[in-house]
């Protein structure tokens, strides 16, 4: 999960130079009775208007965990323990559920 392929297209609205989504050093852990299990460490990416991004990798590397973390839909044992997720410039960690 450390390589990006960009295929820019023409933006449809909004400022062309402002990212749609920015993820900076996202870290996610699961907490069990035996302690913390780090699942994703320092994931970063930026998606600009007109771009599409896919997350690919081997089974168990954290693709679904990253996606669920972005949507703030981790189970009750999963928690974002570091990093920032911004959607259209707004820090998602500062928004209410």
Residue 38 lies in a domain: yes
Count CA atoms within 13 Å of residue 81 on its CB side. 16
Specify if 14 maps to a domain: no
Which pLDDT tens digit goes with each residue over 22-64? 999 999 999 999 999 999 999 999 999 999 999 999 999 999 9
Specify the pTM. 0.79
Could you tell me the pLDDT band of residue 1, with boundaries at 50, 70 and 90?
low
* Number of domains making up the chain: 1
Run of H or E including 36: strand 35-47
* Residue 62: inside a domain: yes
Q: Is 37 helix (H, G, I), strand (E, B) or coil?
A: strand
Q: Is residue 13 part of a domain?
A: no
26 close to 44: Cβ distance less than 8 angstroms: yes
Q: What is the pLDDT of residues 67-79, one digit of tens each?
A: 999 999 998 899 9
Rounded Cα distance between 93 and 72, Å, is 9
Question: Which range of residues forms the domain containing residue 49?
Answer: 21-92
Decide if 92 contacts 86 (C-beta within 8 A).
yes
- Indicate whether 97 belongs to any domain: no
pLDDT of residue 30: 96
Query: Residue 6 domain-assigned?
Result: no
């Amino acid at each position: 999960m450390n390589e990006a392929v960009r295929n820019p297209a023409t933006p449809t609205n909004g400022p062309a130079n402002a990212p749609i989504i920015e993820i900076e050093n996202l870290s996610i852990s699961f907490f069990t009775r035996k302690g913390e299990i780090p699942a994703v460490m320092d994931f970063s990416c930026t998606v600009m208007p007109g771009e599409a991004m896919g997350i690919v990798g081997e089974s168990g590397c954290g693709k679904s965990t990253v996606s669920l973390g972005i949507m703030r839909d981790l189970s009750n044992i999963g928690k974002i323990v570091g990093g920032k997720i911004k959607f259209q410039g707004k820090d998602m960690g500062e928004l209410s559920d």
